[in-house]
Amino acid sequence: MVSAPATLLDLWRSAAADCPERVFAIDNGHEYTYGAVDERSSALAGGLRRLGLEPGERIAFVVANCIEFVVAYFAVQKAGGVALPVNVRLAGDEMKFILADAEAAAIFVHADTRSPVEAVLDDVPSVRRRIAIGFQSDGYDRYDDLVQSPPPERRAEPAPGDVVAVIYTSGTTGRPKGAMLTHANVVFNAESAELGLGLRPDDRHLLAVVLFHVTGLNTLLPAAVRHRSSVVITASPSPLEQLQLIEKHRATTLFGVPTTYIMMAGLERIEAMQLDHLRLIAYSGSPMPIEAIDKLRRHFPRADLLNFYGLTETTSIASSLDPACALSHAASIGRPVPRVDFMIADDAGRPLGPNQTGELCIRGGNVFKGYLNRPDATADTFLPGGWFRSGDAARIDDHGFVFLQGRKKEMILVGAENVYPVEIENVLCAHPAVREAAAVGMPSAVFGELVRAVVVLKDGCTATEAEIRKHCAARLAGFKVPHKVDFTDALPRNPSGKVVKRWLVE
């Protein structure tokens, strides 16, 4: 009797052995079979070992969606390493912190992401090897050369509890934390994609969500492998270009954020496109406006619209909303997916009843191992019984539907990107004219929220909104830069001296 796959490598090896001639990925018009990706990833794994990289070391990816990312991800596992995907939108200082904090031993760099990476690599001594994708330069090993290597002499055999990837998520301290996700987490999440989202073996997924976030890396990719199905890879954020790829390659599923779908619903060219094979439109990150749901249903009458919820720490999927409830419960994130439990807890960690608002806590095989090198933060984020504290305020109604009530940790959600105010405030207060500052969310019809800064200047100092935004743009990713800067004489505080941010929200 063949045992069920327990690791990502088990999933991959069984799929590659079962159907080596089947198409696994399509990128830029080229098809790559399971056998071809298996061969390339084994060769690259051998190349990584011959560069002196050891099992357990973390290997960073500053690479947008492409077939090279996918091959390298499996190669790192075959070499016994741990993947460290890095958001390509981050500013140089943000990248430097992550690479140094994780003690990255090597880094894959794409031609399109080379500039911000090279500006900081000399300040990260742990990086011993740089691997170039799409360019060649002194000091770099070439990806194209490494995929010609013999495979490793010894086959990696990770345990289910071993870490497969470390993905950084912002924290309330203003510094990101590395969430350690295990092989068992990824296998569990691939199964949840079938049980909670209805992904099927006959699907062809448009892989437009970024691979440096959990939905692309831990939902679509392993779910496709589990089903022996295929992915169409794109790095384009353009709704029109995504639809053109769906039409050309007859993709059946599309994952994205409401921002993308709002723009997509307004496209005039949809009516002339052949998109009847699209059966699932999945979204997460923020509620979808009812008007957008109505338009998408008119444009795609055969597609189910499905809202789901998850976090980096839950390996992606934690709940989903039945497509039949897309309109009637548009503000809900649905119910927990099978084998995952939700609890609403008060500040002391005690369970609350239906329709009471508290912190959403999650338990299941999708919950991460902990934060890299942060036992204190790991301990703080768990309650007895294995309950993960999400930091999201929520309530569960009498029928089990979950409604988010805000973000207990004051997170601002810009599109699909999590932005924590403390990080912005630290940068604002580094400006020589700023005495203190607060960052809050402001409503946006397209992005859900944008960042608004409220700034108090030092006595005798002056600064303009443009100057403050320029200062932030040099130090933060674009989605974190305040969209609006207001100046005030003092921030509102309660009697204990704490800034009351709800009085700043417009």
Tens digit of pLDDT for each residue in 27-61?
999 999 999 999 999 999 999 999 999 999 999 99
- Cβ atoms 186, 160 nearer than 8 A: no
Domains and CATH numbers, the chain: 34-181 (3.40.50.12780), 412-503 (3.30.300.30)
Tens digit of pLDDT for each residue in 214-256?
999 999 999 999 999 999 999 999 999 999 999 999 999 999 9
**Does residue 399 surpass a pLDDT of 90?**
yes
Tens digit of pLDDT for each residue in 435-448?
889 999 998 988 88
Apex CA 74: angle with CA 213 and CA 5, to 5°?
95
Tens digit of pLDDT for each residue in 284-341?
876 787 888 888 998 899 999 999 999 999 999 999 999 999 999 988 999 999 999 9
Strand order in the sheet with 370-371: 141-142, 129-133, 106-110, 58-62, 82-85, 163-169, 177-182, 370-371
Nearest-angstrom CA–CA distance, 109 and 175: 23
At residue 409, the pLDDT reads 62
Tens digit of pLDDT for each residue in 354-374?
999 899 999 999 999 999 999
- H-type helices in 358-496, by residue range? 375-380, 421-428, 465-473
Q: Average per-residue pLDDT in the chain?
A: 92
**Does residue 172 surpass a pLDDT of 70?**
no
98-107, 245-254, 403-412, 485-494: segment of lowest average pLDDT: 403-412
**Does residue 140 surpass a pLDDT of 70?**
yes
Q: 3-class DSSP state for residue 234? A: coil
- The count of other CB atoms within 10 Å of the CB of residue 202 is 9
Q: Residue 223 is encoded by which pair of tokens?
A: 């779910």
At residue 93, the pLDDT reads 87
At residue 1, the pLDDT reads 43
**Does residue 95 surpass a pLDDT of 90?**
yes
pLDDT tier for residue 497 given thresholds of 50, 70 and 90? low
The kind and range of the H/E element at 188 are helix 183-195
- Helices 8-18 and 34-50 pack at an angle, to 10 degrees, of 130
CA atoms within 13 A on the CB side of 439: 29
What's the rounded mean pLDDT across residues 182-207?
Answer: 97
